[in-house]
A = this chain, B = another copy of it.
Amino acid sequence: MTATSPRTPAPVLVLVPGATGAPSDGGPGYRLADPTVPQLSVTDLVATRGDGVFETIGAFDGSPVNVGPHLARLARSAEMIDMPAPDQALLAEAVDAAIAAHESVAELSVRVMYTRGVEGTGTPTCWIHAKASDDWSPYRAGMKVAVLDRGLATTAAETSPWLLQGAKTLSYAVNMAAVREAKRRGAADVLFVSSDGYALEGPTSTLLVRRGDTFLTTPASAGVLAGTAVATLFAWLREQQGLATGEELMTIEDVKGSDGAWLLSSTRLAAPITHLDEHELPVDAELTARFERVLKGGI
């Protein structure tokens, strides 16, 4: 366990030429590669159009969490942008290979990247990149969150599927710009609000809201990503704690009037919202710590 060392362990790269089937050159479906040398073509459509999909999987003490749900969501995202279906079984093996090749650390962030590939080839490019997670403890202790308009109505996912709401694409420039705007406002992260006034999700996270003994999230039909972490917490809350969970469209005022809210992600885990813009929210440190253990796969 070297996660507390100031030295950063070397990231691991696994290329997956067989992501959509056996590579035409008869080579292996996946192989370790050197992440310190260039591996991508300048004409890969991810480099010219941000055209591809991805997932980020957390691994804790060497054990990845929710690999199946993440790869299933990758496949759904790929389908939403008319890309070939990835071989989920092979990708799961490649994820394991990346984790096995990485020095043992407490928290590992494993990205699965799946692009439309080099222009004109019709063959997706796929790689897995594992690296020691950043130190997310400041977020897990609680963070200020800025409410920013996403400009789209909650109906857009259904009426205008080409807007790719609910697909985890590699076109994240707006998400990154929103986080920069939040930081300018003295906040650490963002809660997007729809043009019709509903709380949506963070740029890289899912909203969880507590109302008494009920835990709520945004319905995926509103154009948010179906969160893997919230699914894990909901199962635990229902099955282990006997509490109620549900999907509900909530206004920003609903969230402000709640008994607590978190932004959930597979690597940052449960980050409690201390302030939504200037409005202070109750923070339950003990419950947050339990969420963290559950999300690490510990329960």
Residues of chain A at the chain B interface (Cβ within 8 Å): 11, 13, 35, 37-44, 46-52, 54, 81-82, 111, 113, 115, 127, 129, 148-153, 156, 159-164, 167, 169-178, 180-181, 195
Within 8 Å CB of A81, what residues of B? 173, 176-177
Q: Name the distance in Å between A65's Cβ and chain B's nearest Cβ.
A: 21
Task: Report A18 CB to chain B, min CB distance, Å.
Answer: 17
For the complex, would chain A's binding face be called helix, strand, loop or mixed by DSSP majority? mixed
* Complex Cα–Cα for A195 and B48 (A): 28
What are 25 sample pairs from A and B whose C-beta atoms fall under 8 A apart?
A11-B43, A13-B42, A35-B41, A38-B40, A40-B47, A46-B46, A46-B50, A47-B113, A47-B115, A48-B170, A49-B50, A49-B170, A49-B172, A49-B173, A51-B172, A81-B177, A148-B160, A149-B160, A151-B156, A151-B160, A162-B181, A163-B177, A167-B173, A169-B173, A171-B172
Residue of B whose beta carbon sits closest to that of A172: B49
Additional 14 contacts, C-beta under 8 A, given A38-B38, A48-B111: A39-B42, A40-B40, A42-B127, A47-B47, A49-B175, A50-B50, A82-B180, A150-B163, A151-B152, A151-B153, A151-B156, A151-B160, A169-B171, A169-B173
Alpha-carbon separation in the docked complex, A161 to B101 (Å): 42
Q: Which 5 A-B pairs have the closest CB atoms?
A: A50-B50, A171-B171, A171-B173, A40-B40, A50-B171
- Chain B residues contacting A169 (CB-CB under 8 Å) are 50, 171, 173
Whether the Cβ atoms of A170 and B50 lie closer than 8 Å is yes
A111 nearest in chain B by CB position = B48
- Set of chain B residues within 8 Å of A195, measured between Cβ atoms: 152-153, 195
CA distance A49 to B149 in the complex (A): 20
The one of B35, B43, B181 that contacts A35, using a Cβ cutoff of 8 Å: B43
Known A-B contacts A51-B172, A172-B51; the reply to A164 vs B152 at CB < 8 A is no
